[in-house]
Structure 1
Amino acid sequence: MNRDQGSHFTNPDYLGLLDRAEIKVSMDGKGQALDNVRTERFFRTLKYDLIYPQEFETPRQLRKGITEYIHEYNTYRPHSSIGDLCPLEAYNGREFCAA
C-alpha cells in the first residue's frame, strides 16, 4: 500500500494493522506527490468543477453531487490523456459514451 508520511499513516497502530494483514507498506519521500498524481489531479478537477462553484447545504447534497459528478466524469467526459475517450470507453475497449 503506497501512502504519504502523514501522521495517520505513520501511526504505529495503523502500521501494525497492515503488518498483521501482511500488507507491505511503501511511503513516499517528502514532496513525492508524483506517485499520486492521477488521484491529486482528479481531486483538483472535482474541486474546481463541482465543489467550489456550488454551495451544498448538507453533507447528503454534497455526496449526491459527487456521485453524479463521478458518473459523468467516467461515462461522458472525454479525456485527452486517453485519446479523447471517456474512461468507461477506455476501460471497456469500445465506444458508447455520449460526447
Structure 2
Amino acid sequence: RFYNVLRSNSLMLRRTRYRPRTTDSRHGYRLYRDLVNTSPKYTPAGNGRLVVADITYIYTREGFAYLSLVTDAYSRYIVGYCLSRSLDAEGPLKAMYMALETYRAYGISTEGMIHHSDRGVQYASKQYTDLLLSQGIRISMTQTGDPIHNALAERMNNTLKNGWLFNEGDMDFRQAEEAVSKSVAMYNNARPHKALGMKTPMEIFSGRGGNPLMEYRYN
C-alpha cells in the first residue's frame, strides 16, 4: 500500500536501464596519436582516405548485443559492420574485414588510409592493429574519452539506433542481426544527406557524385 501511495503521487523513482560500457581503455596495449583532431583538422579528400570505427550496444530479448561499425568518412558509407554477443575484438575485426572487402570490390585503395577510433581495448588489441598495419593503414586514436573527438562515428551510432532500429528491445539476436543488415542497406542506399548535397552515401562512394563540401574545401 505504501508503494501504491508513492506511485499514485508520482513519488516513485524511475528505474534506469543499465547501459553497458563499450569502451575500456585500461589496458597495456600501445596507444596511437590522434591524426584527425589536428590543427587544422584532417579532412579526407576522397573515399578510402579515412574510416571511423566505434561500438554501440543494442537491447535484445536475449540481453545486450554489440554493434561494430566502420564508416568511410568522405562518403558517410558504412563499409563494414558486425553484431556480436560479446565485447571482445571479434566483432570489430569482422567489421573491419568487411570494410576491406568493400573497398576491394569497388577498386578503392586503402594504402595510407587513416583508421580513427577510441582507445578501447578492442581497437588497441594486437590482433586488430596487426590487421591494420598489414594493410598499410595508419592508426589514429582519440586522446581523451570525449565523444566529440570521434564525432562522426558517434553520429552513425545514433542514426542507426534511433533512426532505423525502432523496436530493438522486442527482437531476439537473429532478428536484430537481420534488422541491422536492412538498416545499413537503407541508410547507405536510400537516405540522402544534406552534408552530401542531398545524395546518398552510395552515390558518393560508388563515384556517381562527388562530396560537394569536400570539393569546395579542396578546390
TM range, smaller chain: 0.5 to 0.7
Q: Which runs of 5+ in 1 are unaligned?
A: none
Superposed CA RMSD: 2.9
Distance 1:25 1:76 in 2: 31
CA displacement at 1:3 relative to structure 2: 3.7
**Partner of 1:29 in structure 2?**
143
CA displacement at 1:30 relative to structure 2: 1.1
Higher relative contact order (CA 8 A, sep 6+): 2
Structure 2 counterpart of 1:5, one-letter code: R
Equivalent of 1:83 in 197, 213, 218: 197
Q: Give the alignment's TM-score, normalised by structure 2.
A: 0.34
- Whether the aligned pair in 2 keeps the contact of 1:56 and 1:62 (CA below 8 Å) is no
Higher helix share: 1
Distance 1:45 1:60 in 2: 21
Equivalent of 1:72 in 153, 177, 186: 186
Identity of aligned residues (%): 27
Higher strand share: 2
Distance 1:71 1:77 in 2: 10
Q: Which runs of 5+ in 2 are unaligned?
A: 1-114, 210-219
Q: Give deviations 1:24-71, integer Å, cap 9, x for gaps.
A: 6543211453442222111111111133x3143310000100100110
- Greater Cα radius of gyration, structure 1 or 2: 2
